[in-house]
A and B are shown apart, each in its own frame.
Chain A
Amino acid sequence: MTGTRTAGPAGAPPVVRFEDVGLTYPGPPPVEALRPCRLTVRRGEYVTVVGPSGSGKSTFLNVAGLIDAPTAGRYLLDGIDTGALRDRDRTALRGQRIGFVFQSFHLLPHRSALENVLLAMVYNGVPRGQRAARARTALERVGLGHRTGHLPTRMSGGERQRVAVARALVAEPSLLLCDEPTGNLDTATAASVLELLDELHADGLTLLVITHDPQVAARGARTVAIRDGVLTEEAAP
């Protein structure tokens, strides 16, 4: 986030690398939610994933975010073969390298904005003394420096999603995964959150944004489509 990542996407190292990655829910009946696919997302890229409801977008995101393990193929995150990892290491890698933004925010209602952001540093070894300052910086980054003490229940939807973005950023992940980040927001608020994502992209962050809204999809430099579990790269605009 410090703007030092100047390497163009084409020559940058891959952050996400899917080698015939697929996922079949065991069922019964078994559901092939993600058919084996290949995909490379390089550092600094802004990739959007589109597809109708039930097409397998969240499944894809869960695999990319190390929440679900693929049932086929090899997934390399930052060059690490995640299939070979023990559960303990997958969890640690997830906490340290991936930031999540969810459609339903997933903020703790009884904790202030600052405390919600602090939570992202509890499990991955950030010393207690550094956490508050980092959380404040992250909140300032998303334009909420004046709202640190507010409870999420007293915030607008857009503000809540910004808190969630700050929480996803604060641990300095390699990859920011957003599942329908504007799904619960009205058009105006959605625009401001999308602008924030654009800024983060400009700062060099790697973004993978899931949406079913073509206008949101158009924000990305690259768009990938999923239909019935089949992932296809759309032609560059």
Chain B
Amino acid sequence: MRSLRRRRAGGAPDIPPSRLSARDLVSEALAGMLQRPARSALTGLGTVLGVGTFVAILGLTATASSQIDSRFNALTATEVGVRDTAGGADPQLARQVPNAFPRDADDRAGALNGVTAAGVFWPVPLGEAAAVRSAPVAGADGERIPVVAASPGMLRAAGLTLGSGRAYDSFHDGRAEQVAVVGRAVAARLGITTLESRPAVFVGGHPFTVVGIADGAERKPDLLLSVMVPRGAAERLWGPPDNAQRARMLVVTQLGAARQVAAELPLALRPDHPEWMAAEPPPDPRGLRSGVTSDLDQLFLLLAAICLVIGAVGIANTTLVAVLERTGEIGLRRALGARGRHITAQFLAESAAQGAVGGLVGTTLGTLTVVGVSALRDWTPVMSPLTVAAAPLIGLVTGVLAGLYPAWRASRTQPAEALRR
């Protein structure tokens, strides 16, 4: 039995203070939450929806942008396109400057740091009548095969691989020689099987010696379906490009140099009129990853925030009702030695647990949504670990905020009042 005389002369008596251990707090809070499971589930719904929407939006955004990332491969990252925009809005200037790329465009671009290959190309404007034939005889129906004027640099930039023969070079180009490179399929259609006999194709009646047959064109596969002729010959025979399909340039750079090269190209090509050259760098991979940008995503995040607020109000309301309902219990606990702060802690822990459980369920549902949508679209689900870790915490914080007022009310309940019930 305890000693009954603890009073010390003159001093405060030795009374061990009331306490509420963390374990007791947790089990009291869980018991409080679980004693009305249906009500707790309904109360938690707002938090579940809020956190679930939040996780799903961030997860889907991350997943979608990572799909763009994977399409954004090494090839496109090292490619710069240049368009000829001279006279874009001015038809007169367009007529005056039909081809803004200078003759030495390949060399000018190639001189830039980080450029591995560069070339100019355009579809040759052949009239309706002009066709590509394997013999000079007119009359027989020619094949409608596109003819592309491509500078020697273009053949390298396109990554042309030759099955037989060779590509034409700047010597042919400079002298406007009538030579051609054709794709494997085009060669077959024109009946060309070997280059030993120095075969020729006739474009609108002009003979071109086929010097090479291409098997592949890594960066511009559609070239394989055309007859490629040097720029010089094309200009001499058919003049500059048609205004509807002006010349373009393809520049291949080293990895990481594309954006810098794109910035320098206009001035390097046309120091006198850089505004005629529009260089298009590859999309910035960082830009692709910069998460939530679209208006729709922001709208959904707003909805998630609204759900969270509704969830918080729901928890606050239920906790307040519980505090009023459980006035007797509060009085009893005070009679059993609980301090006001123990009562605060208990109700705060209950609403926090409510919020945390809602957050956990919401995170699970949100993650399942992301996985489900990814499965439907054949995507690889991608989620930031931060999102998954932070989401239940958001629920917890919601619960704590919602519980502040009711818990404060509970601690203010006078035990004598409470026990009178």
Q: Which of A58-114 contact B (CB under 8 A)?
A: 58, 62, 65, 67-68, 78-81, 84-89, 91-96, 98, 100, 102, 104, 106, 108, 110-111
Bound-complex Cα distance A88 to B342 (A) = 11
Main secondary structure on B side of the interface with A: loop
Taking CB atoms, residues of chain B closer than 8 Å to A43 are 4
Bound-complex Cα distance A4 to B2 (A) = 12
Taking CB atoms, residues of chain A closer than 8 Å to B13 are 80, 85, 89
In angstroms, how far is the closest chain B Cβ from the Cβ of A151?
Answer: 11
Q: Is A84 a contact partner of B12 (Cβ separation < 8 A)?
A: yes
Bound-complex Cα distance A68 to B293 (A) = 61
Q: Is B23 a contact partner of A128 (Cβ separation < 8 A)?
A: yes
Q: Is B328 a contact partner of A106 (Cβ separation < 8 A)?
A: yes
> Does B415 interact with chain A (Cβ within 8 Å)?
yes
The size of the chain B interface, using a CB distance under 8 A, is: 38
Given contacts A43-B4, A78-B6, A79-B5, contact A67 B23 (CB under 8 A): no
Interface string of A175-217 (1 = CB under 8 A from B): 0000000000000000000000000000000000000000000
Bound-complex Cα distance A67 to B4 (A) = 20
Other-chain residue from A58, A115, A119 in contact with B333 (beta carbon distance below 8 A): A119
Bound-complex Cα distance A92 to B340 (A) = 12
Bound-complex Cα distance A234 to B335 (A) = 29
Tier of interface size on chain A: 35 or more
Q: Is A95 a contact partner of B18 (Cβ separation < 8 A)?
A: yes
Interface string of B315-355 (1 = CB under 8 A from A): 00000000000001101111111110010000000000000
> Does B20 interact with chain A (Cβ within 8 Å)?
yes
Bound-complex Cα distance A62 to B152 (A) = 104
Given contacts A123-B20, A125-B16, A128-B23, contact A92 B1 (CB under 8 A): no
Q: Is A100 a contact partner of B4 (Cβ separation < 8 A)?
A: no
> Does A172 interact with chain B (Cβ within 8 Å)?
yes
Interface string of A1-41 (1 = CB under 8 A from B): 01011000000010100000000000000000000000000
> Does B24 interact with chain A (Cβ within 8 Å)?
yes
Bound-complex Cα distance A128 to B17 (A) = 17
Given contacts A13-B4, A174-B4, contact A92 B333 (CB under 8 A): no
Q: Which of B4-30 contact A (CB under 8 A)?
A: 4-7, 12-13, 15-21, 23-24, 28
A4's nearest neighbour on chain B, judged by CB, is B1
Taking CB atoms, residues of chain A closer than 8 Å to B421 are 104
Give 19 A-B pairs besides A110-B31, A171-B336 with Cβ atoms closer than 8 angstroms.
A65-B335, A68-B416, A80-B7, A87-B339, A89-B12, A89-B17, A91-B18, A92-B17, A94-B337, A102-B419, A106-B419, A108-B329, A108-B332, A123-B333, A123-B336, A123-B338, A124-B16, A124-B19, A128-B24
- The 5 A-B pairs at the shortest CB distance, nearest first, are namely A95-B337, A110-B35, A123-B337, A106-B332, A123-B18
Query: 5 interchain pairs (CB within 8 A)?
Result: A5-B1, A79-B6, A84-B12, A88-B339, A123-B333
